[in-house]
Amino acid sequence: MIKLDLLIIIGRPALLLTLFSAMTGCGPGDGKVPVVGMITFDGSPMPDGYVTLTPDGGGSPVASPIVAGKFELAARPGPHRVEIEASRFVGEKNPIMGLQPREHYVPAHYNSATTLRCEVKRAGGNSFNYELMSEQK
């Protein structure tokens, strides 16, 4: 009888904690909002690549592929560091390995040493356009 009472006392808080965790976990209620944008490189839509948003003060970054200059992702509201990366084929395909070398062509000030920023707002309207140039002006 005592063991059953103890299980009921301990079990209820554990059940409530589990239900609360399920309601506040990942998914639509995770606090993220839609973010969209357009990226051009030397005046033309970037054919492919990746955009990464990293929250200021830490937190998990979110990334999205760039397709025909466009990207879509979901991020938490607040200021973010923006990194844009892309590579293209160069040279001849290796006849033995069957691979063609690639080069990263986006300057570092748009990725590893980025100066790009965005402010994701909870209320929406999170559309960001970035016009990248092969040479910094």
Q: Higher pLDDT residue, 20 or 89?
A: 89
pLDDT band with cut points at 50, 70 and 90 for residue 94? confident
pLDDT at 67: 98
Decide if 23 contacts 31 (C-beta within 8 A): no
Q: Give the pTM.
A: 0.74
Give the range of the structural domain holding residue 105, as residue numbers without chain letter: 31-132
H or E segment to which residue 16 belongs: helix 2-24
**Core vs surface per residue 52-70: b (16+ CB within 10 A) or e:** bbbbeeeeeebebebeebe
* Cβ neighbours of 74 (radius 10 Å): 16
Sorted by sequence, the CB contacts under 8 Å of residue 113 that are 6+ apart come out as: none
Residues 50-58 have a mean pLDDT of 95
pLDDT at 135: 81
Q: In terms of domains, do 1 and 45 share one?
A: no
In total, how many domains does the chain have?
2
Q: Does residue 137 belong to any structural domain of this protein? A: no
